[in-house]
Amino acid sequence: MSALLETENLSIAFGGITAVDQVSLAVSPGQIHSVIGPNGAGKTTLFNLISGLYQPSGGRVNLAGEEVTGLPPEQLARRGLSRSFQNLQIFFRMSAVENVMVGCHRHERTGILSHLLALPNVRAENRNSREIAMAQLARVGLADLAEKEAGSLSYGALKRLEIARALATEPRILLLDEPAAGCNAVETEEIDRVIHDVAKAGIAILLVEHDMRLVMRISDEITVLERGRKLVSGKPDAVREDPRVIAAYLGTFGSEEANRA
Amino acid sequence: MPELLQFAFSGLTVGAVYALVALGFTLIYNASDVVNFAQGEFVMLGGMITVFLHLAGLPLPIAAVAAILITVLVGLALYAFAIDLARGSGAVQIIIITIGASIFLRGVAQVIFDKRFHALPAWFGSEPIRLGGAAILPQSLVVLAGAALIVALIFLMIDRTILGRAILATATNRLAARLVGIPVRRIVALSFALSAAIGAIAGLLVTPITLTSYDVGTLMALKGFAAAMLGGMGSAPGAIVGGVLLGLAESFGAGLISSKYKDAIAFLIILFTLFVRPQGLFGKRSTERV
Amino acid sequence: MERLLRNRWALVLALALVLAALPLVFPSNYYFRVAALVNIFALAAIGLNLLMGYAGQVSLGHAGFMGIGAYAVAIGASRFGLNGAVAMLAGAAIAGLLAFLVGRPILRLKGHYLAVATLGLGLLISMTLTNEAGWTGGPDGMAVPRLELFGLRLRGPDTWYMISAGALVLGVILALNLIESPTGRAMRAIHDSEIAARVVGVDVAAYKLKIFVISAIYASIAGSLMAFLNGHITPDGTAGFLRSVELVTMVVLGGLGSVLGAIVGAAMLVILPQALTIFHEYEHLLLGLIIMASMILLPRGVIPSLLARLRGGGA
Ligand SMILES: Nc1ncnc2c1ncn2[C@@H]1O[C@H](COP(=O)(O)OP(=O)(O)OP(=O)(O)O)[C@@H](O)[C@H]1O
Ligand SMILES: [Mg+2]
């Protein structure tokens, strides 16, 4: 299977530190590729580079065989790349379902004049987007909270709301930055199921997650970053046993997480 | 050639005043994130109070000192009875409050004083000094020297005194400053007092040249704000450079292009600068973290 | 009650009823005049609220667009012999075009930089109106020829009350439609998180620009109506910095992100100073106090505070 998303020697530096240093990886449709590494390893920065929020200082990003390096996020979204955020980026003043409806944006076709006049096609489109959004909310288990203002939802619910919103764009690849962080066991379970589901539907997934049990269980491929560099990549079993990974984790994470892994 | 020199001198003079107003903006902004549109009224009060106390028979130096003190009290009152009460409100709300305060102060000045223009005698006479074909008012030199002195004092204070350190700490991180025991609210109050004093001094320095009236504050505040943004909000050197550049732009614009449009030229330059450098001349460009 | 405040058609209906009923209790032309002013400022405030309260972009120079609308009808009719209604549309087109041309670079700015840039834009417009005295009559302003429509000469505050009320209802309907549309969701999303909006495919710059243009057109129409109502306009009275500040205060006072709030804010800020004109000497002083007090006491705005109270009380 050919890769949907590839990075080649992707790099960026802030001031003195090279936060992401020549990182290359590839994700295929339906594959779950996890990026792990100690705090500050550059995982979120890597996501920001891939999703067009930061301009790389070197390297390239290919999406479906085309170079997309440095394209703005809204254009990447139109090409089928979306993401969630480690630090929540929620539309707090909108209801949960409206949050997800914004995700339908790239499929909405009516123009601003019809919006001002509330023409029938706009009402039909609103209904359609709402249906799609409701389906995505149901998919992540938030159907009951659809009409609640997002600002009033729990942290765990908001994490899933972000996933639902990203899914509403109908992405070909989804970047999830610590979707289970701060979630309780039940919620983590739910997120595990959703990720599996999404991958099974043929969507490529790039995942950053600190919950090692989750990562080892669902990943097809794992890339380990340390201080911006790719340390190792491979199948979960191989990565788990790799002495360099164990050393890196023992060195920085403390033994607890290494044991959990 | 002498004309250009003339433009440069008058530009520097007004620019020095803008720089002081912008510095006042920056002091308050750094201490509290408040953009104080009443800053221009401090300039007005400095000039007008001096004028009226002098008219009432006080010797000029005493009138001037009293004007500064009264303006400082006004600055403190602005903090205590408006800004401090609105702690926690959004940035737009605070901006509106300070604009309201400036309208209010203008209204008070109009009632207490009058609506006419007033002058003060120049400190060292008004016989122009000839230099390379340009005529310079001695008072211009007073303005430049006064502005330079104030700027130097402020920088020394921030650099050398414990108080200055506390201001710096508060500007950098308010929560951390509070945690290490810096009385943040008092520092903010102090920044209002200091800004008021700077504004008042600017007012009484420049009144012999430009005259003053109850409504000179608005445009002064807009120019000072613009100068601060031109330099980069929060940067004290930026405020000073921004102020001087604005003064020069106005003066050359008025002289070479059109005097009717001197204010317009100044704002056009600001717009274009911000289009090219959205963070101002001295502002740090940072990548937004997510 | 909360339902009522939230249901858009109930709101439109209630507004239309109130606007239609008010003339029954107005004792004199003076009341029509003040009420017409409320309608006109409410219209401009609704447009500005789309920009500030929904899309989250401040403008401290919006009265500039009112000025364009006002002078378009004055100059269009007196210099080009245009029918007033045509001149009004031309003004809206000019305001929209100007907003479109300068909007993109201006709206790239954020926070205080955006504030100073919009302020500068407003000042540039009002300075141009002041300085081009050959066209505009300079700081003293110019007379506005009466509007003639279908052979009728429209004059008198009662007529302009009716027309402005119609414009307001229309403006409210269009705004409410917009808010509940894909564009509306996009702009509300931009307000809360530009980054999240972008990664789901919202072209943030394009939407900010669209809203800026729409709000400029609202202001321009309001400016034209004000010109017709007053019969005489000045640069300061239509486009000045103080006008811009009033518009912003109306929006914030009524409630950012509330169409009804913009109307309430406009009503308060038009009527209060009118009630205070007996203290003529103290006009500025009181206006300043009103502005400060309302922001200190109601920082979230009348309508949002009211909604919160109702929700709290109902639960
Ligand atoms: N916008 C920025 N400006 C400056 N430095 C940055 C920026 N973004 C990230 N960094 C730096 O880059 C490095 C990598 O940070 P990053 O957030 O990518 O780590 P991470 O692997 O996601 O860590 P965590 O597990 O804590 O989320 C850090 O040293 C961080 O301080
Ligand atoms: Mg991270």
pLDDT in tens, A208-220: 998 888 899 999 9
Is A14 in Cβ contact with B290 (below 8 Å)?
Answer: no
The atom number, within ligand 1, closest to the CA of A225 reads 21
Write the residue in C181, C195, C201 that is nearest to A78 by C-beta: C201
- What is the domain-level CATH number for residue A226? 3.40.50.300
pLDDT in tens, C186-239: 999 999 999 999 999 999 999 999 999 999 999 999 999 999 999 999 999 999
Position C255 in a domain: no
Position C276 in a domain: no
Can you tell me the distance from the alpha carbon of B61 to that of B50, in angstroms, rounded to the nearest whole number? Answer: 9
pLDDT band at A258 (very low <50, low <70, confident <90, very high): very low
Which residues in chain C touch residue B263, judged by CB atoms under 8 angstroms apart? 123, 127
Residue written as tokens 């909000």? B233
pLDDT in tens, B174-230: 888 888 888 889 999 999 999 999 999 999 999 999 899 998 998 899 899 999 989
Expressed as residue numbers, the domain containing C9 is 2-240
**Domain endpoint, select from A137, A170, A203:** A170
**Residue of chain A minimizing CA distance to C199:** A73
Closest Cα to atom 17 of ligand 1: A44
Whole-structure pTM value: 0.92
Residue ranges lining ligand 1, Cβ < 6 Å:
A 14, 17, 19, 37, 39-45, 86; B 287, 289
Work out the minimum CA distance from A112 to partner chain B, whole angstroms. 27
Q: Where are the alpha helices (DSSP H) in chain A?
A: 43-50, 73-78, 96-103, 112-117, 120-139, 155-168, 185-200, 212-218, 236-241, 243-252, 255-260
Residue A75 alpha carbon to ligand 2 centre in Å: 23
Closest Cα to atom 6 of ligand 1: A14
- pLDDT (0 to 100) of residue C69: 97
Angle between helices C111-131 and C84-107 (to 10 degrees): 140
- pLDDT (0 to 100) of residue A140: 92
Which residues in chain B touch residue C124, judged by CB atoms under 8 angstroms apart? 264, 267-268
Can you tell me the distance from the alpha carbon of B222 to that of A136, in angstroms, rounded to the nearest whole number? Answer: 50
Residue A86 alpha carbon to ligand 1 centre in Å: 11
Residue C200 alpha carbon to ligand 2 centre in Å: 20
Which residues in chain A touch residue C210, judged by CB atoms under 8 angstroms apart? 112
pLDDT band at B265 (very low <50, low <70, confident <90, very high): confident
The atom number, within ligand 1, closest to the CA of A48 reads 18
C8–A contact, CB cutoff 8 A? no
Are C276 and C283 in contact by the 8 Å Cβ rule? The answer is yes
Collect all residues with Cβ–Cβ distance below 8 Å to C298 and sequence separation of at least 6: C253, C305
Can you tell me the distance from the alpha carbon of A51 to that of A39, in angstroms, rounded to the nearest whole number? Answer: 20
Asked whether residue A212 falls in the same domain as residue A227, the answer is: yes
Position C105 in a domain: yes
Using alpha carbons, select from A193, A241, A198 the residue that is nearest to residue A217: A193
Query: Phi/psi class of residue A83: alpha, beta or left (left: φ > 0; alpha: ψ in -120 to 50)?
Result: beta
Ligand nearest to the CA of residue A39, numbered in listed order: 1
**Domain endpoint, select from A138, A170, A202:** A170
Work out the minimum CA distance from A59 to partner chain C, whole angstroms. 21
A82–C contact, CB cutoff 8 A? yes
**Domain endpoint, select from A170, A188, A204:** A170
pLDDT band at C4 (very low <50, low <70, confident <90, very high): low
- Compare B109 and A184 and report the one with higher pLDDT: B109
Supply C302's token pair: 């009348």
Neighbours of A237 (CB within 10 A): 10
**Mean pLDDT, all residues of chain B:** 90
Can you tell me the distance from the alpha carbon of B13 to that of C83, in angstroms, rounded to the nearest whole number? Answer: 50
Can you tell me the distance from the alpha carbon of C142 to that of C137, in angstroms, rounded to the nearest whole number? Answer: 5
Ligand nearest to the CA of residue A41, numbered in listed order: 1
Length of chain B: 290
Are C23 and C32 in contact by the 8 Å Cβ rule? The answer is yes
Q: Can you tell me whether residue A12 is helix, strand or coil?
A: strand
Which residues in chain B touch residue C252, judged by CB atoms under 8 angstroms apart? 92-93, 96
Expressed as residue numbers, the domain containing A76 is 1-80+172-261
Asked whether residue A148 falls in the same domain as residue A227, the answer is: no
Ligand nearest to the CA of residue B286, numbered in listed order: 1
Collect all residues with Cβ–Cβ distance below 8 Å to B43 and sequence separation of at least 6: B17, B21, B199, B200, B202, B203, B206, B216, B217, B220
Q: Where are the alpha helices (DSSP H) in A37-103?
A: 43-50, 73-78, 96-103
Q: In this complex, which chains have at least 3 CB pairs below 8 Å with chain A? A: B, C
Using alpha carbons, select from B116, B77, B115 the residue that is nearest to residue C280: B115
Closest Cα to atom 22 of ligand 1: A44
Are A61 and A49 in contact by the 8 Å Cβ rule? The answer is yes
Q: Can you tell me whether residue B182 is helix, strand or coil?
A: coil
Neighbours of B284 (CB within 10 A): 9
pLDDT band at C315 (very low <50, low <70, confident <90, very high): very low
Write the residue in A73, A117, A122 that is nearest to C198 by C-beta: A73
Asked whether residue A5 falls in the same domain as residue A63, the answer is: yes
The atom number, within ligand 1, closest to the CA of A41 reads 21
Phi, psi at C181, each rounded to 5°: -125, 170
Query: In sequence order, what DSSP letters do the residues of chain C get, joined into one string?
Result: -HHHHH-HHHHHHHHHHHHHHHHHH--SHHHHHHHHHHHHHHHHHHHHHIIIIIS----S-THHHHHHHHHHHHHHHHHH---HHHHHHHHHHHHHHHHHHHHHHHHTS-HHHHHHHHHHHHHHHHHHHHH-HHHH-GGG-EE-PPEEETTEEE-SHHHHHHHHHHHHHHHHHHHHHHHTSHHHHHHHHHHH-HHHHHHTT--HHHHHHHHHHHHHHHHHHHHHHHHHHHSEE-HHHHHSHHHHHHHHHHHHHH-TT-HHHHHHHHHHHHHHHHHTGGGGGGHHHHHHHHHHHHHHH-TT-HHHHHHHHHHHHH-
Q: How many domains does chain C have?
A: 1
Position C274 in a domain: no
Asked whether residue A184 falls in the same domain as residue A166, the answer is: no
Q: Label residue B116 exposed, middle or buried (CB < 10 Å: 0-12, 13-18, 19+).
A: exposed
Is C180 in Cβ contact with A53 (below 8 Å)?
Answer: no
**Residue of chain B minimizing CA distance to C126:** B264
Are C63 and C126 in contact by the 8 Å Cβ rule? The answer is yes
**Mean pLDDT, all residues of chain C:** 91
Position C295 in a domain: no
Neighbours of B196 (CB within 10 A): 32
pLDDT band at C74 (very low <50, low <70, confident <90, very high): very high
C218 to B255, B286, C64, C263, C301: CA distances (angstroms): 38, 35, 12, 14, 21
Residue B130 pLDDT greater than 90, yes or no:
no
C295 to B90, C289, C290: CA distances (angstroms): 10, 10, 8
Collect all residues with Cβ–Cβ distance below 8 Å to C127 and sequence separation of at least 6: B261, B263, B264
pLDDT band at C314 (very low <50, low <70, confident <90, very high): very low
Which of A45, A176, A223, A230 most suits a substitution to test ligand 1, by most atoms within 8 Å of the C-beta?
A45
Encode A179-209: b = buried (16+ Cβ within 10 Å), e = exposed: bbbebeeebbebbbebbeebbeeebbbbbbb
C248 to A86, B36, C119: CA distances (angstroms): 35, 16, 12
Residue A19 alpha carbon to ligand 1 centre in Å: 7
Percentage of chain B exceeding pLDDT 90: 56
Instruction: Name every residue in B having a CB less than 8 A away from some CB of A.
Output: 287-288, 290
Interface of C with A in 165-184 (CB under 8 A): 174, 177-178, 180-184
Supply B178's token pair: 């509070």
Can you tell me the distance from the alpha carbon of A174 to that of A8, in angstroms, rounded to the nearest whole number? Answer: 19
Q: How many domains does chain A have?
A: 2
Residue B234 alpha carbon to ligand 2 centre in Å: 29
Q: Label residue C133 exposed, middle or buried (CB < 10 Å: 0-12, 13-18, 19+).
A: middle
Can you tell me the distance from the alpha carbon of C157 to that of B83, in angstroms, rounded to the nearest whole number? Answer: 40
Asked whether residue A108 falls in the same domain as residue A159, the answer is: yes
Asked whether residue A64 falls in the same domain as residue A15, the answer is: yes
Work out the minimum CA distance from C180 to partner chain A, whole angstroms. 8
Are B37 and B103 in contact by the 8 Å Cβ rule? The answer is no
**C184 Cα distance to chain centroid:** 18
pLDDT band at A31 (very low <50, low <70, confident <90, very high): very high
Position C310 in a domain: no
Work out the minimum CA distance from B111 to partner chain C, whole angstroms. 7
Asked whether residue A102 falls in the same domain as residue A128, the answer is: yes
Which of A43, A86, A207, A231 most suits a substitution to test ligand 1, by most atoms within 8 Å of the C-beta?
A43
Position C77 in a domain: yes
C58–B contact, CB cutoff 8 A? yes
**Mean pLDDT, all residues of chain A:** 90
Interface of B with C in 101-120 (CB under 8 A): 101-108, 110-111
Supply B286's token pair: 């940072």
Q: CA torsion, points C230, C235, C237, C242, in degrees to nearest 10?
A: 160
Asked whether residue A196 falls in the same domain as residue A125, the answer is: no
- pLDDT (0 to 100) of residue A254: 46
Asked whether residue A185 falls in the same domain as residue A259, the answer is: yes
Asked whether residue A184 falls in the same domain as residue A253, the answer is: yes
Asked whether residue A68 falls in the same domain as residue A112, the answer is: no
- pLDDT (0 to 100) of residue A261: 46
Which of A12, A14, A50 most suits a substitution to test ligand 1, by most atoms within 8 Å of the C-beta?
A14
Asked whether residue A43 falls in the same domain as residue A123, the answer is: no
**Residue of chain C minimizing CA distance to A107:** C201
Q: What is the mean pLDDT of residues C110-136?
A: 92
- pLDDT (0 to 100) of residue A182: 85
Closest Cα to atom 26 of ligand 1: A39
Residue C313 pLDDT greater than 60, yes or no:
no
Encode A111-142: b = buried (16+ Cβ within 10 Å), e = exposed: ebebbbebbeebeebbeebbebbbebbebbbb
Residue A257 pLDDT greater than 80, yes or no:
no
pLDDT in tens, B35-76: 999 999 999 999 999 999 999 999 999 999 999 999 999 999
